[in-house]
Amino acid sequence: MSDGSIGFAGLSHLGIVYSAAAIARGFSVVAFDPQPELAKDLVTRRFPIQEPRLEEVVRQNQALIRYTADAESLGLCSLIFISLDVPTDDNNNSNLEPLEVLIKEIGTHASSDATLVIMSQVPPGFCRNLLSKLPPNVALFYQVETLVFGNAIDRAVHPERYIVGCADPDTSLPDLYRRFLDAFECPVLRMGYESAELCKIAINCFLVSSVSTANTLAEICEKIGADWNEIVPALRSDRRIGSYAYLNPGLGIAGGNLERDLVTVQKLAAEYGSDARIITAWQQNSA
């Protein structure tokens, strides 16, 4: 029987940040990871990641969170977020095996009518395939995360919107999940599984384009005597580009997730016979 707690399974960066956001909004949380040493470290607030305000948020709300390596604890949660970061290999392909092992372990202990929410980034088709293997009373959703390293806590506590993938977008959300989303006071965009899975990839592809374009133009500025900082305000004032555009030159798109999404789009285009092409500085440099 549920005790009203919300479960988070998988305590990498994603799970640690979002479980902290949940307690910041007043929810009681069971935060599970199969690694006992990690759970012990988190109990004493020895975090394996560095994020501004993380320790402060957990300290202020520590009565609401229980870190554990005991998967049976999730059996009391009617809402469980699967929040393990998915690693990539040297070719920017996702390694889904740890996630699949975690889901299997959760399935052993979760209530037969639990609501599962996948937050881990998965390729299109993953959730639909997973749903076919779950008990009929289990509701499955896919929630797109758009965290930014170094600003993850603020984005998780104050999201601009939630993107939720559903088996059927016209079906009402389970009560506890709906109340959880409502607590963050932001728009909720509901769509089919495949749309939500691709939406995460689409967001990153547009970010890739912005970063690559800004870096290229900033380099041209240096060559011809122009000042990129003088150009940026003009771009931000253009409604077609927007005030929040990624226009600051940086270190490119290294880091794993963006490259993975480019690889995924290329695979989808090849598999389904699309003529789609994503031409970026990253692709040219890696050719």
* Residue 210, pLDDT score: 87
* Residue 40, pLDDT score: 97
Give the residue, 78 or 92, on which the prediction is more confident.
78
Contact 81, 9 (CB under 8 A): yes
Residues β-bridged to residue 29: 6, 65
Report long-range pairs for 54-60 (Cβ below 8 Å, ≥24 apart). 54/16, 54/17, 54/20, 54/152, 54/153, 57/20, 57/21, 57/23, 57/24, 57/153, 57/157, 58/20, 58/23, 60/24
- Taking the C-alpha atoms of 179, 182, 187 and 190 in order, what is their torsion angle to the nearest 10 degrees? 0
* Residue 280, pLDDT score: 44
Give the pLDDT band of residue 283 (cuts 50, 70, 90): low
Contact 143, 190 (CB under 8 A): no
Mean pLDDT, rounded, of the chain: 90
Residues 117-169 pLDDT 10s: 999 999 999 999 999 999 888 999 999 998 989 999 999 999 999 999 999 99
**Mean pLDDT, rounded, for 51-61:** 97
* Residue 279, pLDDT score: 45
Amino acid sitting at position 61: N
| Nearest alpha carbon to residue 33 among 44, 19, 22 | 19
* Architecture of the domain delimited by 200-286: Orthogonal Bundle (1.10)
Give the pLDDT band of residue 277 (cuts 50, 70, 90): low
Same fold, 6-192 and 200-286: no
Q: d(Cα 287, Cα 277) in Å, to the nearest integer? A: 14
* Residue 3, pLDDT score: 67
Give the pLDDT band of residue 8 (cuts 50, 70, 90): very high
**Mean pLDDT, rounded, for 252-265:** 67
| Residue 283 CA: distances (Å) to CA of 206, 231, 245, 265 | 14, 26, 21, 13
pTM as predicted:
0.87
* 135-139, 236-240, 249-253: the lowest-pLDDT one: 249-253
Third-level CATH fold of 6-192? Rossmann fold (3.40.50)
Residues 180-232 pLDDT 10s: 999 999 999 999 999 999 998 999 888 888 888 888 899 999 999 999 999 99
Q: How far apart are the first and last CA of the chain?
A: 55
Every domain of the chain and the residues it spans:
6-192, 200-286
